[in-house]
Every structure is written in structure tokens, then in C-alpha cells.
Amino acid sequence: MALSKLARDFAREINNHDWQDAPYRRDRAGHNRASDNNHDDRELTGRETDAVRTNVMWVTAQVLGYHDPNFDVYEFAEACGVDTRTRRGDRDGSIQAGVRERYGRYMRPGTWEFDAEFVTTETSDFYHSGTDCTLFQRGYRGGELLTFPLDGHMPTRWRPCANCVPEHQN
């Protein structure tokens, strides 16, 4: 899946930046010591540089993931110049673990909370008040998560969950 224009622009900027002396200066976006005389002799190690770049990628990914339902954190990380593979060549699970996300839903930026909304999937018979519902978690099969605002129209195709939708709880 292709990154959105905004995600591509963030990734280009993150990848273009010289992160090796980032903690020791404050000068401008797109810093490059080869063409900038405002630099210090202190440099981060390669590992430290990767850590700074990865943290910047995660912070940016949190916002992009929240706003873009098609966002792919691995694709974005790779475009930012972050290594997304383990030494064995497998996909590194820490990339996904670095964002506050569950079942494809990202927490609201600046908080540790998900937006309140009804959730369901194409294969479900019920909709839920969130992904915390034990019945949702037991029935979730990794399908695309469908979300509907609490104050919006919920299609009649799905019935409310008796376990978590307030007006249908016992």
C-alpha cells in the first residue's frame, strides 16, 4: 500500500536529516553537516543515531496512524531510513510495538486513550463499544476493523453487543 503524500513528505524529511549530532544543536530542518558550518565535533554513535531517528519516526507515525486509516508503520519506517528487519531478515515486531495501537486503531495523539466509537468487522454479527470488550477480543479474527462514531448511524446489519453496548447490557 502506498504512503499518503503527507506520510511520504514526513518520511523524506526524517530520512534527509543528519541525526548524528542532533542532541547537540538546534538549527533547522534538513540539517546536513557537510553543508552547514554550525556544527560540533561531538557525534552520536551509529546505534545512538538510529535510536534518535527511530524515535522521531515513532512520534510522527503515531499522528499519521491516527489520521490515516491506510497507514502502514513498516512502510513508513522504511521510508524514514529505519531498519525494519531483524538480523534473520524477519519483520521486527518492535517497529509496531513503538506506536500506541491495537487492532489497527491508534490512540489519540498526546493521550493514552482511544477515541470512543463502535467497532466491528465484516464477518461479525455484533458491534462493540470498543476493542476492550472480551467478546470482541474472542471473536476478532484479524479482519479489517470497521468503526462508526457513537453519535452516528450504525448500519442495521450488526446487532449491539449485550456485553458492552450500554443500552443493551443486563
- Is 120 in contact with 146 (CB distance < 8 Å)? yes
Other Cβ atoms closer than 10 A to 64: 22
Per-residue pLDDT of the chain (170 residues; tens, 9 = 90+): 688 999 999 999 898 888 888 787 776 666 777 776 666 678 899 999 999 999 999 999 999 999 998 899 999 999 999 999 999 999 999 999 999 999 889 999 999 998 889 999 999 999 999 898 999 999 888 888 899 988 888 899 999 999 999 876 54
Please give the pLDDT value at position 11: 94
- Under 8 Å between Cβ of 3 and 65: no
User: Do residues 44 and 21 make contact, with C-beta atoms less than 8 angstroms apart?
Assistant: yes
The reported pLDDT for the residue numbered 103 is 86
Phi, psi of 149 (to 5 degrees): -65, 145
pLDDT of 45 reads 93
Cell of 98: 513503538
What is the model's pLDDT at position 151?
A: 84
Q: Cell 552520536: give the residue.
A: 44
pLDDT at 13: 86
Go through the chain and tell me how many residues it has: 170
Residue indicated by cell numbers 543528519 = 18
pLDDT of residue 144: 87
